[in-house]
Chains A and B, each alone.
Chain A
Amino acid sequence: MVTESRPGEARAAGLRESAEPGRSAPRARTNRVRGTVQRTYTPWFYVPAGVIYLVIFIVPTVMSFWFALTRWTLFDAKFIGLDNFKQFFSEQALRSGLWHTVVYAIVTSGLKVVLGLLFAVLLTSAIRIRGLLRSLVFFPVLVSTVAVGITFSVLLQPDTGAVDTVLRVVGLGDQDWLGSPTTALLSVALVDVWKGVGLATVIYIAGVLSIPQEYYEAVDVDGGGAWDKFWNITLPLSRPATFSVILLSFIGGLRSFDLIWTMTGGGPGFSSDVIASVIYKEYQAGFFGLATAGNVVLFIFVTLIVYPLFRWMSSKEVDL
């Protein structure tokens, strides 16, 4: 398994429990203790967390399905049927936001998978500076998104920006990366990858390190090279890591807001607007019902895409 959480042990604990009722008579005393034990795991432990979770997370989520159908001022809500959703799907500015969200999620999670695996293979190989490189790649994960956004907006400025200056040397300069509708969304997506690839890398490193060494030795015995090892051993056996990386970055990508908001504000025009930034704009403009409809759309989106993905991945779980 990829992670520290020990599913094996959890399973073992479960087995032990189901085996217990069988051997009853000689262990009456133990069973009495077991009864007390059951009473000791009191459901009251759920209560404090449950109340907060219920009030702050579940209630708003459930209520959003009602408020999405209303014209809403926070103080009174007037039922208007599906008008908000109609508006969401008919207005060009809002509809393009849906499409951008999907593009953004696919681009970022795709690149994180490819680069993360590449880095992980490199950083688990025999090179001497891998500790240093791991830290370099991982650190941006911990830096504030807003700080990253501002820094890269400056670096990506046309003419004076560092990226343009370097690219001009190879004849690719003079691009207004964030100011042009064709490149804005993709530029932000690349910065997102820069910030997030470290997490993908460490997940892959854990996955690659958990592959038993004997498999690689077997390839050696069969006379295979480095490519065979990667293609036939590393890639298929790090599939659980791939699943985790895809799920995490896909969910993150569909929801992403802060980076887009600090770098382009959804612009120029609506060319880099995603659902989350549309929600914020509608909220600012006082269209609370419409903003909530956006939330419901996002909810349905995430569930429709992530849940089947999750099912499919779980069904293909590999055992090492």
Chain B
Amino acid sequence: MRGTRRLVVEIAALAVGIVFFVIPFVFMFLTAVKTEDQSADLSFAWPTSWPILQNLKDVFSARDYMLVTAFKNSIVLTVVSVAILVVLGAMVGFVIQRRPGKLATIANLLVLSGLIIPPAVVPTIWVLQSIGLFKHLSGLILVEIAFGLAFSVLLFRAFVAAIPRELDEAAIIDGAGPWTLFFRVIFPLLRPVVITVVLTQSVLIFNDFVNPLYFLPGDENATVQLTLYNFLSQFSTQYNLLFMNIVLVTVPPLIMFIFFNRKIVSGMTAGAVKG
């Protein structure tokens, strides 16, 4: 009796899960591999032919290979921002936890504000312009670092708290200075949380739409999220290419999800902690 009831619940849950969470992705994929004519129907009909390679070629070559440039930009943006974010965030997380005092109190307050306060957009453009980095990829990288710091510091601080101080003391007795201690002893121990920060932040930055929109305008600077947005008007009659673009943009997070499911989930859950 119990078994039957469980089976009913399981089947119902699976049905709901598939209808709501699988079908939209099926639609994405089916539309992406249809011919232009058939994709215009926007229906779930099975593709009459499968011009996958042709669609791929078309979507990449559109607008003078804009998507290729965009992927390059997005990858550089994500990799560089996340790399710097990890090192700087870990350094702050380390001192903030190890050296309580006035400075740490202020830093904690700033971390908290960073999580809550919405960034002031136009004044940020003004700052970037005055240091000559507006419309430059490096400017956007700085923006992503600044906006991602609060969350990363939070994760690192919590993790540093679990590393015994005796370890620091032993290293110091052995003659380690601040930098050696941090980079040779502490940082390697932070590996699990480094992985978490890398995964969550790279998904966030790769998917970011608002900041590139404001701080990195211009076709030659487009990131992949902006190509979607730009193609929206251009491909209004070519839904197959629009959705092929969507599929391509969805692939990197999907790959990450398949390999690091648990790490990503635990990282994002940890982000829910109150400071």
As a 0/1 sequence over residues 121 to 135 of chain B, the CB contacts with chain A under 8 angstroms (1 = contact) are: 111111111010000
Question: Of residues 118 to 172 in A, which have CB atoms within 8 Å of B's CB atoms?
Answer: 122, 125-129, 132-147, 150-152, 154-155, 157, 160-162
B-contact bits for A1-45, CB 8 A (1 contact / 0 none):
111111101100110010000000000000001101110111111
A64 CB–B CB distance under 8 Å: yes
Q: Is the CB of A145 within 8 A of B27?
A: no
Which of A36, A59, A296 is within 8 Å of B172, CB to CB? A36
> Which B residues are in CB contact (< 8 Å) with A141?
268
- Is A225 an interface position by the 8 A CB rule? no
In contact, B178 and A42 (Cβ under 8 angstroms): yes
CB neighbours (8 Å) of A295 from chain B are: 118, 120-123
CA of A11 to CA of B9, assembled, Å: 43
Find chain B residues with CB under 8 A from A63 CB: 120, 123, 126-127
Q: Does A283 contact B (CB under 8 A)?
A: yes
A53 near B: Cβ within 8 Å?
yes
* Partner among B95, B209, B266 whose Cβ is within 8 Å of the Cβ of A144: B209
Question: Which of the listed residues B20, B24, B172, B269 has the most CB atoms from chain A within 10 Å of its own CB?
Answer: B269
> Given that A57-B147, A288-B122 are contacting pairs, would A151 and B155 also be in contact in the complex, using a CB cutoff of 8 Å?
no
CA distance A5 to B61 in the complex (A): 46
With A3-B272, A46-B92, A139-B21 as contacts: A146 and B209 at CB distance below 8 Å:
yes
**Shortest beta-carbon distance from B97 to chain A in Å:** 7
Interchain nearest-CB distance for B79 vs A (Å): 17
Residues of A within 8 A of B228 (CB): 144, 146-147, 150
* Cross-chain contact of A56 among B31, B142, B271 (Cβ < 8 A): B142
The answer to whether residues A299 and B118 also contact, given A9-B162, A243-B274 and a CB cut-off of 8 A, is yes
Closest to A275 in B: B118
Contact: A137 with B116, CB < 8 Å?
Answer: no
Does B88 lie within 8 Å of A48, measured CB to CB?
yes
Looking at the assembled complex, report how far the CB atom of A283 sits from the nearest CB atom of chain B, in whole angstroms: 6
Q: Are B27 and A4 in contact (CB under 8 A)?
A: no
Supposing A40-B172, A42-B95 touch, asked if A150 and B272 sit within 8 A by C-beta, the answer is no
Q: Which residues of A contact B127 (CB under 8 A)?
A: 55-56, 59-60, 63
A279 at the interface (CB under 8 A from B): yes
**A50 to B14, alpha carbons, bound, how many Å?**
48
Hey, which chain A residues are within 8 Å of B41, CB to CB? 160
Count of chain A to chain B residue pairs whose CB atoms are closer than 8 Å in the complex:
288
Interface 9-residue window, one of A90-98, A181-189, A230-238, A255-263:
A255-263
Judge whether B190 is part of the interface by a CB distance below 8 angstroms: no
Overall SS of chain B's interface? helix
B191 within 8 A of A: no
Question: Taking CB as reference atom, which chain B residue is nearest A203?
Answer: B272
Closest to B229 in A: A146
Give residues of chain A (268-319) contacting chain B, Cβ–Cβ below 8 Å.
276, 279-280, 283, 288, 291-292, 295-296, 298-299, 302-303, 306-307, 310, 313-314
User: How many residues on the B side are at the interface (Cβ–Cβ under 8 A)?
Assistant: 106
* A58 is an interface residue with CB less than 8 A from chain B: yes
Set of chain A residues within 8 Å of B95, measured between Cβ atoms: 41-43, 45-46
- Cβ of A55 and Cβ of B122 under 8 Å apart? no
Establish whether residues B42 and A60, one from each chain, have CB atoms under 8 Å apart when the complex forms.
no
Contact call A48/B121, Cβ cutoff below 8 A: no
Q: Mark B88-114, 1 if CB is under 8 A from A, else 0.
A: 110110110111100100010010001
Which of A's residues lie within 8 Å of B, judged by CB?
A: 1-7, 9-10, 13-14, 17, 33-34, 36-38, 40-46, 48-50, 52-53, 55-61, 63-64, 67, 72, 74, 122, 125-129, 132-147, 150-152, 154-155, 157, 160-162, 194, 199, 202-203, 206, 241, 243-245, 247-248, 251, 254-255, 257-258, 262, 276, 279-280, 283, 288, 291-292, 295-296, 298-299, 302-303, 306-307, 310, 313-314
Known contacts A42-B178, A57-B124, A60-B126, then 5 further A-B pairs from the complex at CB < 8 Å, ordered by chain A residue:
A7-B273, A49-B89, A132-B17, A146-B225, A258-B209
The 8 closest A-B pairs by CB, nearest first: A5-B158, A64-B120, A60-B123, A56-B146, A244-B272, A41-B99, A49-B88, A142-B253
Could you give 20 example pairs across A and B, Cβ below 8 Å?
Answer: A3-B272, A40-B176, A41-B99, A41-B178, A43-B95, A45-B182, A46-B107, A49-B153, A56-B145, A56-B146, A59-B127, A129-B10, A135-B257, A136-B18, A147-B246, A152-B24, A155-B27, A202-B268, A248-B272, A310-B274
